[in-house]
Structures are given as structure tokens and as C-alpha cells.
A and B are shown apart, each in its own frame.
Chain A
Amino acid sequence: MSGSADGDSFRAALREAVLLRDCLALAVVPAVALAVFALPAGVRESLAFAYRDPTVATAYAAHFVHFDAAHLAANVLGYALLAGFGYVLAALAGHRRLFGVAAATYVLAFPFALSGLNLAVPRNAVGYGLSGVNMAFAGLLGLVLVAYAGRRVNERIRTRHAPGAFFAAVAVVSLVALPVDRTTVALAGVSASIAAVYAVSVWRTWQSSVASRWEATEGRAGWLDVGVLGAVAFFGYPFVGFPAPTPAAETVVNRYVHLLGFCLGFLVPYVALAAGAFDDTEDF
């Protein structure tokens, strides 16, 4: 059966793409989060980012601070899902370097940026938790998903089509996170329209290559499956990252930092890619 041969080739490619050192490097983030969680609560409290008393150290450290095991578990699991999928797709799409640089940026620089942007809205609050960084990986997932699709599913899909996925996700986010009113519908509509423009563009290229399409698909079943799963993860994540507000609790889920992380997580590598900062841009 040709499928099994394809499966073998997919698995071989997967084995080849996924490197232990990369996995270990990616595991550093949850390891640090777990280590910080093991610290006494008082110490963690001092590491949380107080918006009224911001310091450079807490601006960074706060993103690895968790006070609640469920919070930590959700963030570590979310990280594993997003960074894991992103890594696999990027590696299979030949964007290992892009992913590595982006991930390093997210882990090393984004905490400062996200904390700093949080200060733009002055309020008496403390912020902590990994999900801002997680959402950056979600943004990256949208980019590498499109890159992967272009590389492994249909070569007519190009990385420059990625904003279509991004805006589709933004449309979902606005419908999920905001109360349904005129502004929300308008925002979702505009985002969906932009996504639709990209979709039409992709569809046209697809149509123009009907002959090769099925052939390509037939021969790339395992590759397609991973793409589908990546898409489900990418479009499913807004439902997780932008929960409806819970008015009763004394905590407020910082959806602002989620949105920031998601947007920056997509924009930064996309712009870098478009600007030709990476060698592997021949398929842009």
C-alpha cells in the first residue's frame, strides 16, 4: 500500500527533523517554570510583576511564576502543545532556524516586551504566568503552519499567505473574547474579510494546479494529517486563550497580554521572514 510507504517516509522525515537537543532546549522553559513553582510562595510573590512597582527583574521573572498548580499545569501543557506543534511543523517545513530564533526571542526578550506593554494600562495589579509567551508560540504556529502547508502539502501555498491564517484567528478571537456587539462584529468581519482575501488567493492557485493536487495529496497523507492537527490546534487555541470573563473571582485573566503575545508572536517572525532575515525564504 502506498500509504504505508508514505507513512514510513513521513515517520522517517519526522525522526530526522526532531532533534533531541532541540527538545531539551524547549524543555528548559517548563523546567524553569516548575523550578520557580518549587520556590516558597513569598519568593514567588516577590518575583511577580507589580504594575505599580515594576522592576526589570520582575518584568522578566513574572512570566515563569505560578501560584496555582492548575495554572502551572495548564501553561506547561499549553506550552508543550504550541511549542511542540510549532517545532515539529517548523522542522518538517525546513524552518528549524526560524523557529529556533523565534523561540529564543520569545523566551528571552518577549517577557520584557509584554510586561512593558502591560504598563501602558496603569492599574493596581500584579501579573504572572507563562501564557503570554505561550501565545507568542501560538502566533508562530500560524506562521509555520502555513509554511509547512506550502512545503509539504501544496507547494502553491506560500508563507506570505500566513496573514490569512492570522486574521482568521483574530476573527475567532474577537468573537470568542469580546461581548457580541456592533464593534465586535465589525472587527470580526474585517478580519474575516482579510482572511477570505488570502483564502481566495490560495484557492485560485490551488484551482490552477488541479492536475497535481490530488496526486500530491495522495502521496502525502501523513503530512496532511499533521497539517490538519496543526490547524485544529491553531484555530482551537483562541477558545482556550481568550476565555469569557469570570466576574466572581478576584483574579482577572490577563487576556490583553494573550492578545499581545499572539500578535507579536506572529508579526515578529513574519516580518523578519518577509524582510529576508533568514536564508530559508525561497518559498515566501
Chain B
Amino acid sequence: MRRSLAIGTALALAGALAFPSGAAPLFSGPTDDIGEDVELAPSSDYADLEDGELVVDLSAANPEAEGVNDDAVTGIADVFRVRYNGSQYAHVWLTHESEAVTFYAGGEPIESEATNVTLAPNESIAVGLRVDTTGETADGLLDEITVHARAADPEDVAAQGDALSFSGSTVQTRAPTETSRRFTVLGASAGETTTFDASRLALAGAAGDLTLDEVAVTSAGGSVSLAVDASGTEGARSRVAERGAEALGAVRVTVETGAVERATLRFSVPRGFFEARGVAPADLAVYREDGGELSRLDVERTGERDGRVRFAAETPGFSTFVVAADRARVRVADARLGQTTVAPGESASVTANVTNAGTAAGEQTVSVTVDGSVVAQRVVDVAAGDTANVSVPVERDDPGEYAVAVGGVDAGTLVVEAENETDAATAQSPENGSDEPVREPAGFGLRELLGLVALLALVAASLLLARRRPW
């Protein structure tokens, strides 16, 4: 006698199970998506999907099945599969009302929490069943089975690793939102590096520009769970901007569980991205903002692929990372005149401090103006965070007051005064910077003296002529 057995499914969320939403269905065919994270998919002729519900039909009504023998124990391996799409490990088991039916996985029944099967993220397992018709079993249907899934602590899972016969680590990557990623690695051995694919997480708003492509994590062993978020990075961005660099994009990485020894963040940008923004290769930087502290990570260009320029930065730990372009912020801080009063034609030196508050060395052409018109220009090179001093002589031929400025910064008023006799006598040596005394020859201009002699000769000659002619 054949009995037909129809199995319906339902999902019971046991305990404090909180599966993140948004996982993409990963079974290639249609599945019975009984929960957000657990799917049942038929894998034998006995199982089928009807209206999105997995139905296992062992009766003769199923043309592919032949029913089960009376008074016999019938086992069917791999009737359907259970797949777990959550980000963490889950203990899964099935319960139902019938005593005649037992579900197996890996040769063991999975009908209580104690005998659960633990599924890694994205892991699926084949479920077989055994129908025992030897007892007084009512004919008919198994209306409903309940699929239990309970989130497992990764530590527990890792600790049970051997018992569960896991070989190697298991990696799961999810994209809960456009701007975030969740990475989990389970059972990683100490020092093992796991690379997560961040599927080009856009860091600067516009998709496709600056993206985080991969995160390679070297863990201290065990399991690591990371939350990667491109939003909520404003604080770090503004801190980088305060430092003087231009923030191009930022990402926040938090370790939710586990311990990370070091990690490498791999970014990419479309070809021409840096050129369009005037970022020299040496000025590309990744800043790590950790508890208000800003440190600059070394950036390595790792080549070009698919029209994208790739670069990577290694970090000793996670926090918020800002991809930035180091910029020079060169400006004239202050300016002053060496002398405020000079004689016409005498030069006064105007001195200015030129600072670079940026993160890259830079040069600037500084203009010296007198009454608004440029009288001199100097190109000043300033290292990042440094101050350079520039000194330029200015002179005016006409007496008066002149407003002197350097790079728009007022240096003061230069008074040009005509020298008078007392000044000439009392003048200190001109401020020529040396101790060389001024030479003060007591003498006459030879030309003037010869002029006087000529005048005397002329007068004498005139007198002589006048005497010779009678009046």
C-alpha cells in the first residue's frame, strides 16, 4: 500500500533570531522563500513548488513518484535543500507532527534544536527523509513542517568547527543598502587573509566614481564580522579638510565581531578621475581617522583594470578612512616694512611670511604692490605646514606716502621724504645691513669749483677790458 505524503512548509523564528533583510536569492531556480534568510528548494522529483510553497509528494498522484511501500521503511536522499542566506551562522532544524517521517541531513536526523545542522551564510544542505510505515500510522498527509533557524554565535560555531567538520573558512558578503556592506568570515585561521568583495561601494556619492572594491582582512583567527558604511563619515571628512587636504570620499569600517590584525583597502576610480581633479600621484592620500586622530596611510597604485585605476592602502586597524588629495594652501600670512621712512630713490625692504597650511608642498607667485600697482613678483616655494620668508626691496623717487602690500596683505605705509641738510648730517648710516661706515668726504665738487674759477676769470677779464676803454 502506498501512502501519499504531502509536506507543507512554514518557518518558525526561534529565539532572538534577527536576520538582516535584503539578501538576494541565490538559488538559481525558484525557491520557497519561507523567511528572509532561509529558502527551501526542490532537489528531487518528489519535491515541487506549488504557489511558492514547497510540496513533497510521495503519493502515486505524483507521476514522478511511486509512493512508499506499506509496512516498510523508505528512505529518500536529497529530497529538497535548505539554504541559509543570512550573514551569520544559523542552526537549522525541522519539526513536524508525524512520527512516521524523519528528516535527515548528512545522515543524521535534524528534528530538534539539539540535533540541528549549522549552516554558514549562503550554505545549503541536502535534506533527505525516511518514511516508516511499519507502525500504526495514519494514512495521509503531513500537513506542515516547521523550519527552525536560530542565529549562531560565530564563536560557538568556530568552537564547534571540528565537530561540524568545517574545512577552511567561510566567507559571506552582503549589501544591506546601497551605501553599506556586511562582511563575515568564519573559521579563519590566525594570520589568514580573507578578501571581501565590496562590489564597488561608492564612496563619493555618485556611483562608479571613487569606489571601495575589496577589503582584505588578516584576522587573528576565528571569525570576523565587519560593517562597512559609506555614510556617516562627515566628521572624518571635515577633519581631513581642516588638515588642508581635499576629501574625495570616505568609508567607515567597524569590526562587529572578531579581531583584525591588519587589513588592506582597495579602491578604484575611473581613468582620468585624478587628472580631472588635478591630483598628482604623489598627492593621493588615504587618511585614517581614529578617535579624532588623523594618520596618513601609504597609498600604493596597483595598476589599471577595466578602465579603472586601482590603488590600495594598508591599515593596522579599522576606523574611518578618507581618500583625499593632498593640497597646498599657500598664502601670505603677514607683511611688514623694514623701514617706514626713506629718502627718494632709497629702497625699503618689505618682508612677508608665506605659510602653507595644506598637506602638500606648493608654490605661489606673490605680488608686491605699491598703491595698488604691482612693482615686483616673487615665486615662493613652501613645504607643507611650513612658512617661507620673502623680502623684496621697494623704492619711490617722489616724496609722499605709499601703501605697500604683499599678496593683498597690508605691509604698512612707506613715507618717502626729501632729505634736508640736517638729515644729511644726522643721518645714521643707511640701513644697508652692514657695519660699513658712511664715507663723509669734506670736499667740494671739482666742477662747481672750476665753474667759480671760470666766473672769476670772466669777471676779471671784463674788469680789465672795462679799464682799458675810457668811459
Contacts and interface: CB of A to CB of B under 8 A. Distances in A.
A6 B426 CA distance: 52
Interface stretch (B64-72, B153-161, B332-340, B447-455): B447-455
A96 interface: no
B439 A81 contact: no
Interface stretch (A156-164, A189-197, A247-255, A275-283): A247-255
A257 to B, nearest CB: 5
Interface stretch (A11-19, A128-136, A199-207): A128-136
B420 A179 contact: yes
A123 B427 contact: yes
A125 B435 CA distance: 10
Contacts of A185: none
Most chain A CB atoms below 10 A, which of B424, B438, B441, B463: B441
Contact of B441 (A245, A247, A251): A251
Given A74-B449, A247-B346, A252-B427, A127 B421 contact: no
Contact of A255 (B424, B439, B464): B424
Q: With a 10 A CB-CB cut-off, give which of B419, B428, B439, B464 has the most chain A CB atoms.
A: B439
A243 B445 contact: yes
Size class of the A contact interface (CB-based, 8 Å): 35 or more
Contacts of A236: 452, 455-456
B445 A250 contact: no
Contacts of A68: 441
Contacts of B282: none
B428 A124 contact: yes
A251 B459 contact: no
A48 B446 CA distance: 21
Contacts of A77: 446, 449-450, 453
A252 B444 contact: no
Interface string B334-355: 0000000001111000000000
B376 interface: no
Nearest to B343: A247
Given A123-B426, A134-B444, A228-B459, A245 B419 contact: yes
A243 B344 CA distance: 17
A231 to B, nearest CB: 9
Nearest to A174: B421
B426 to A, nearest CB: 5
Interface in A100-157: 121, 123-132, 134
B425 A255 contact: yes
Contact of B421 (A51, A237, A240, A255): A255
A184 to B, nearest CB: 8
A274 to B, nearest CB: 28
A252 B424 contact: yes
A245 B444 contact: no
A216 to B, nearest CB: 16
Contacts of A78: 444, 449
Interface string B404-440: 0000000000000011110011111110000101111
B439 A250 contact: yes
Contact of A50 (B437, B445, B446): B437
Contacts of B450: 77
B456 A251 contact: no
A22 interface: no
Contacts of B453: 77, 81
Contact of B444 (A51, A52, A241): A241
Interface of B: 343-346, 418-421, 424-430, 435, 437-446, 448-453, 455-456, 459-460, 463-464, 467
8 contacts: A77-B450, A81-B452, A124-B428, A125-B437, A131-B442, A233-B452, A236-B455, A247-B345
Given A128-B440, A229-B456, A229-B463, 5 more contacts: A71-B446, A78-B449, A225-B463, A243-B445, A254-B425
